[in-house]
Amino acid sequence: GNSVTQMEGPVTLSEEAFLTINCTYTATGYPSLFWYVQYPGEGLQLLLKATKADDKGSNKGFEATYRKETTSFHLEKGSVQVSDSAVYFCALSNQFYFGTGTSLTVIP
């Protein structure tokens, strides 16, 4: 079946640290992959997406590459800011599956 396994949190980093949030998936066919972000008090927002293998999605300094061979879509950012503090969700287009979310707190 379809599922998303996401790195558990919470994650606490100092400003300017490197961020990786792991996401792996199982799916039938060739799904699109997404990262959504939920800032405190706000609704879920699309952060980035990739629609086929080897695609790299990027936005606001975040990147993720669709790796079909490892069924992964890890989220990375080279230098996090306090304003990146939020909950991050990996998602799969088939049957609309979401991961459990990873809470990120960036401290000054």
Partner 1 sequence: GAGVSQSPRYKVAKRGQDVALRCDPISGHVSLFWYQQALGQGPEFLTYFQNEAQLDKSGLPSDRFFAERPEGSVSTLKIQRTQQEDSAVYLCASSPLRPDPLTEAFFGQGTRLTVV
- Say whether residue 82 binds partner 1 (CB under 8 A): no
- Say whether residue 97 binds partner 1 (CB under 8 A): yes
- Min. distance of Cβ 101 from partner 1 in angstroms? 5
- Say whether residue 26 binds partner 1 (CB under 8 A): no
Residue spans of beta strands (DSSP E) within 23-101: 23-26, 33-38, 45-50, 56-59, 62-65, 75-77, 86-92, 97-98
| Lookup: tokens for 94 | 């088939």
- Min. distance of Cβ 73 from partner 1 in angstroms? 14
Contacting partner 1 within 37-66 (CB under 8 A): 42-46, 49, 51
